C-alpha cells in the first residue's frame, strides 16, 4: 500500500510538472501536448491502444519468461563447470561489447516481422543481467557450508541443488527485477526496426503522421504496463527470496 501511494504521488508530481512546462512555454500541441489532451487521446483511442498493447505485452512476457529460464540455467551451468566458465564465460563478456540494439535488424532478418524477432530481442536484452546476477550469487556461496557438505559426502549436484541455488536466490531476484524493466525496451526496439503491430509500431506511425498526442498516449500505456510488470516481478522475487 505504501509503495502504491508513493507511485501515485510521483505520478501526480510528474503530471503537474508536465502541465506547468506546457503552460509556461506555450509549446504547440504537436511538439508537446498537455497531459489532459494525452488523457483524452488515450480514452478516444482505447481500442486501438489495447490492440497494439496486447501484442507488445505478449512479446515482453514471452521474452521475459524465456530469458529468465535460459539465463538461470546458464548461470547454474557456469557455476557448476569450470570448463564452461573457461570457454563460455569470455563469449558472454564479449557479447556485451556488441550493442544489443544493433542486433535488432539482424533478428528481424532472421525471424521476420512477427512476434519472433521481438521476443528474441527482449530475451537477449535481459539474458545477461539475469545470468550475471545469479552466477555472481552462486559463486559467493558460503564456503563453510560447502566444506561441511563435502565432508558429509554430498555430491556436487546435491550441493548445487540444496545449498548453492537456495543461497543464491536473492541474486536471481535482483536479476529478475532488472529484467522486468529491460524487457519492454527490447520489444519496443524490435518493433521500431520492423513490425506491423505493437506499441512501438504505433509510436512510429503516430510520429510520421504528426499525431504527437497519440505517440504520447502509446508511451503512457507502455509506462503503466512496465510499472505493473515491475511490481508483479518484485512480488515474485520477494516470494523467491522468502
For the stretch 123-175, pLDDT in tens is 888 888 899 899 988 888 777 777 777 777 777 788 788 888 888 888 899 88
Q: How far apart are CA 89 and CA 74, in angstroms?
A: 10
Is residue 17 scored above 60 in pLDDT?
yes
Burial level of 74, CB count in 10 A (0-12/13-18/19+)?
buried
pTM of the predicted model over 0.95 = no
Grid cell at residue 177: 527485477
Q: What's the pLDDT band for 3 if we cut at 50, 70, 90?
A: low
Structural domains of the chain, ranges and CATH numbers in brackets: 38-241 (1.10.3720.10)
Amino acid at each position: 500500500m505504501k509503495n502504491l501511494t508513493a507511485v501515485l504521488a510521483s505520478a501526480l508530481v510528474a503530471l503537474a510538472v508536465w502541465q506547468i512546462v506546457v503552460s509556461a512555454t506555450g509549446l504547440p500541441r504537436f511538439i508537446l501536448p498537455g497531459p489532459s489532451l494525452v488523457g483524452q487521446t488515450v480514452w478516444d483511442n482505447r481500442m486501438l491502444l489495447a490492440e497494439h498493447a496486447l501484442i507488445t505485452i505478449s512479446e515482453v512476457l514471452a521474452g521475459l519468461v524465456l530469458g529468465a529460464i535460459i539465463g538461470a540455467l546458464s548461470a547454474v551451468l557456469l557455476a557448476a563447470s569450470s570448463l564452461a566458465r573457461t570457454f563460455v564465460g569470455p563469449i558472454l563478456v564479449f557479447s556485451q561489447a556488441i550493442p544489443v540494439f544493433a542486433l535488432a535488424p539482424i533478428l528481424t532478418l532472421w525471424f521476420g516481422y512477427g512476434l519472433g524477432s521481438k521476443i528474441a530481442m527482449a530475451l537477449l536484452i535481459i539474458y545477461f543481467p539475469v545470468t550475471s546476477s545469479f552466477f555472481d550469487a552462486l559463486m559467493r556461496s558460503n564456503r563453510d557450508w560447502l566444506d561441511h557438505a563435502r565432508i558429509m559426502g554430498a555430491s556436487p549436484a546435491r550441493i548445487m541443488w540444496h545449498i548453492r541455488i537456495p543461497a543464491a536466490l536473492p541474486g536471481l531476484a535482483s536479476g529478475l527485477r532488472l529484467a522486468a524493466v529491460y524487457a519492454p525496451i527490447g520489444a519496443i526496439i524490435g518493433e521500431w526496426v520492423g513490425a506491423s503491430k505493437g506499441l512501438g509500431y504505433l509510436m512510429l506511425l503516430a510520429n510520421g503522421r504528426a499525431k504527437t498526442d497519440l505517440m504520447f498516449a502509446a508511451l503512457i500505456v507502455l509506462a503503466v504496463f512496465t510499472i505493473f510488470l515491475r511490481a508483479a516481478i518484485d512480488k515474485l522475487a520477494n516470494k523467491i527470496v522468502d
